[in-house]
């Protein structure tokens, strides 16, 4: 059976009184049934086969916990015959709790669906921009929590965001997709966008449609592998790494399907080690303003599904108060689920002008024989180094003779202008 009206408890095809379900389903699968794309194919996975269950009535009521439990459990075996394989590949849920806070009500249902191989998607809610506005059940770790962006890829004001209220160290949002003025089908026939197509209810089915395309590319795709691939292919936005508003970033439909068809490595930072034993300030494992010669060792973890070969990285920053001295290093091959460590450290300097305790945002360009990726990460700084100049070129003249936190440049060679006077912090390389 392809239909279940959980509000009425009947297998009759559910009606859509307010058009919300017609719009969300249209974003996922709407097509004219003909081969080839045309303007009527507004669905991401257009012409895909679909089923539906209703949990709200025409006025938005009726969605009791019992009704929702029954609907989710119907999806586990739609025809009621455990001997047939009729599980859906992807289930979109453009609904959620109206209350903030930690709830577990539907977690078991969602986890069982995931264990059966069903990929579930939930909208993160429209209670933004408050910092703790993500809504249950989207932050369940077994599903995809989807936020909304506008056409400029900026987070929508209304998009639910924040950390998982049941696990405060875990950003609740997984990924974002367009959710403003989305064109789709209407329950009166035809197509419409505008405000009626605005909300995380309409960004979630975009992700669900891409997941359906991924499943078409590989019918054996598991929920965990699908999660990893969406993460690997997302365009990073917001603060480095998974953040509470954008999650892992903006949905890249082509990149996600391509990674299913052509498995690639996916390199992420596994560890960051600061070694300032050879630097010019306190040896404390912390980069400090005024500290020169800070080594940074970056462990790389391959979360992808192919071995990374010919691995090299280049470190850079847009911070005007940080200078990268040794910017490139190489790594051995890294197998899937493996971690690689650099053959040599990278080195940077922190100028005295850097405010104490202000993080440094670095850009890491990772190149392999299989492709290239870019990761952003932050390194915390400590208190400012004690004042003074340092003998960076090793000519034996340190106090007010060489550079002061790299405000002045140094010749870097003890044989060039040995002992030449250097006026500290005047911005001029006096001895070159």
Q: Looking at the structure, do residues 145 and 16 belong to the same domain, yes or no?
A: yes
Q: Looking at the structure, do residues 34 and 96 belong to the same domain, yes or no?
A: yes
User: Do the domain assignments include residue 410?
Assistant: no
In this model, does residue 414 exceed pLDDT 90?
no
pLDDT digits (tens, 9 = 90+) for 80-99: 999 999 999 999 999 999 99
Instruction: Locate 423 and state its tokens.
Output: 């006026």
Which domain-ending residue is among 261, 285, 315?
261
Q: Looking at the structure, do residues 183 and 322 belong to the same domain, yes or no?
A: no
Q: Looking at the structure, do residues 271 and 256 belong to the same domain, yes or no?
A: no
Beta bridge partners of 132: none
Q: Looking at the structure, do residues 257 and 274 belong to the same domain, yes or no?
A: no
User: Do the domain assignments include residue 398?
Assistant: no
Residue with tokens 């419409």: 192
Residue 109: which H helix or E strand, with range? helix 107-115
SS3 180: coil
Which domain-ending residue is among 229, 245, 261?
261
pLDDT band at 57 (very low <50, low <70, confident <90, very high): confident
- The rounded mean pLDDT for the chain is 88
Residue 301 main-chain phi, psi, to 5 deg? -105, 135
Q: What is the 8-class DSSP label of residue 49? A: -
Global pTM reads 0.82
- Parallel, antiparallel or unpaired: strands 267-275 and 294-302: antiparallel
Contact call for residues 328 and 341 (beta carbons, < 8 A): no
User: Do the domain assignments include residue 387?
Assistant: no
Query: By CB neighbour count within 10 A (0-12 exposed, 13-18 middle, 19+ buried), where does 415 fall?
Result: exposed
292 closest CA partner among 348, 360, 355: 348
In Å, how far are 141, 393, 415 from 429, measured between CA atoms? 56, 13, 16
Q: Looking at the structure, do residues 64 and 150 belong to the same domain, yes or no?
A: yes
Residue 350 main-chain phi, psi, to 5 deg? -120, 120
Residue 396 has a pLDDT of 45
Q: Looking at the structure, do residues 29 and 154 belong to the same domain, yes or no?
A: yes
CATH number at residue 196: 3.40.50.200
Q: Looking at the structure, do residues 237 and 360 belong to the same domain, yes or no?
A: no
297 closest CA partner among 264, 338, 331: 331
Residue with tokens 């924040």: 162
User: Do the domain assignments include residue 397?
Assistant: no
pLDDT band at 13 (very low <50, low <70, confident <90, very high): confident
pLDDT digits (tens, 9 = 90+) for 353-406: 899 999 999 999 999 999 999 999 999 999 988 765 544 444 444 443 344 433
State the CB neighbour count (10 A cutoff) for residue 39.
8
Question: What is the distance between the alpha carbons of residues 67 and 14, in angstroms, rounded to a whole number?
Answer: 14
Residue 222 has a pLDDT of 97
What is the domain count for the chain?
2
Residue 430 has a pLDDT of 52
Which domain-ending residue is among 232, 261, 290?
261
| pLDDT (mean) for 104-132 | 96
Q: Looking at the structure, do residues 250 and 274 belong to the same domain, yes or no?
A: no
| pLDDT (mean) for 110-135 | 97
Q: Looking at the structure, do residues 98 and 231 belong to the same domain, yes or no?
A: yes
Dihedral (Cα; 390, 392, 396, 400), 10-degree rounding? -30
Question: What is the distance between the alpha carbons of residues 430 and 307, in angstroms, rounded to a whole number?
Answer: 50
Residue 290 has a pLDDT of 85
User: Do the domain assignments include residue 407?
Assistant: no
SS3 255: helix
Residue 398 has a pLDDT of 43
pLDDT digits (tens, 9 = 90+) for 261-280: 999 999 999 999 999 887 66
| Choice among 8-12, 116-120, 256-260, 333-337 with the minimum mean pLDDT | 8-12
CATH number at residue 298: 2.60.40.10
Return the half-sphere exposure (C-beta side, CA atoms, 13 A cut-off) of residue 53: 26
Instruction: Locate 126 and state its tokens.
Output: 């429209």
Residue 415 main-chain phi, psi, to 5 deg? -90, -10
Output b/e per residue, 205-234; b: 16+ Cβ within 10 A.
bbbbbbbbbbbeeeeebebebbbbbbbbbb
pLDDT digits (tens, 9 = 90+) for 376-388: 999 999 998 876 5
For residue 342, the enclosing domain spans 267-379
Contact call for residues 30 and 43 (beta carbons, < 8 A): yes
Residue 387 has a pLDDT of 61
pLDDT band at 424 (very low <50, low <70, confident <90, very high): very low
State the CB neighbour count (10 A cutoff) for residue 168.
12
In this model, does residue 415 exceed pLDDT 80?
no
């Amino acid at each position: 059976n392809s239909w279940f009206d959980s509000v009425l408890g009947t297998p009759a095809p559910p009606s859509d009184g307010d058009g919300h379900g017609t719009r969300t389903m249209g974003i996922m699968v709407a097509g004219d049934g003909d081969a080839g794309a045309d303007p009527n194919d507004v669905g991401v996975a257009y012409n895909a086969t679909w089923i539906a269950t209703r949990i709200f009535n025409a006025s938005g009521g009726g969605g009791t916990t019992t009704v929702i439990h029954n609907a989710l459990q119907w999806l586990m075996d739609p025809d009621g015959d455990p001997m047939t394989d009729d599980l859906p590949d992807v289930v979109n849920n453009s609904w959620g709790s109206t209350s903030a806070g930690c709830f577990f009500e539907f977690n078991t249902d969602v986890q069982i669906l995931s264990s059966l191989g069903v990929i579930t998607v939930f909208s993160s809610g429209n209670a933004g921009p408050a910092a703790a506005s993500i809504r249950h059940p989207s932050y369940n770790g077994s599903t995809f929590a989807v936020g909304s962006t506008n056409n400029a890829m900026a987070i929508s004001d209304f998009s639910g965001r924040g950390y998982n209220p049941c696990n405060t160290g875990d950003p609740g949002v997984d990924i974002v997709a367009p959710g403003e003025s989305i064109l789709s089908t209407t329950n009166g026939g035809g197509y419409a966008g505008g405000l009626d197509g605005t909300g995380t209810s309409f960004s979630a089915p975009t992700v669900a449609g891409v997941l359906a395309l991924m499943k078409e590319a590989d019918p054996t795709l598991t929920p965990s592998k699908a999660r990893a691939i969406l993460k690997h292919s997302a365009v990073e936005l917001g603060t480095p790494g998974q953040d509470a508003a954008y999650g892992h970033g903006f949905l890249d439909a082509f990149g996600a399907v391509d990674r299913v068809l052509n498995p690639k490595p996916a390199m992420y930072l596994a560890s960051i080690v600061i070694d300032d034993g050879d630097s010019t300030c306190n040896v404390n494992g912390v980069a400090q303003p005024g500290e020169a010669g800070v080594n940074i060792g970056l462990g790389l973890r391959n979360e992808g599904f192919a071995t990374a070969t010919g691995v090299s990285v280049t470190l850079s920053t847009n911070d005007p108060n940080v200078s990268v001295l040794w910017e490139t290093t190489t790594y051995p091959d890294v197998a899937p689920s493996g971690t690689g460590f650099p053959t040599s450290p990278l080195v940077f300097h922190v100028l005295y002008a850097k405010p104490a305790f202000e993080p440094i945002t670095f850009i890491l360009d990772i190149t392999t024989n299989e492709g290239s990726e870019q990761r952003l990460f932050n390194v915390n700084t400590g208190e400012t180094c004690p004042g003074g100049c340092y003998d960076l070129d090793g000519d034996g003249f340190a106090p007010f003779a060489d550079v002061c936190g790299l405000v002045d440049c140094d010749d870097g060679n003890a044989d060039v202008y040995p002992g030449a006077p250097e006026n500290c912090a005047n911005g001029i390389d006096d001895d070159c």
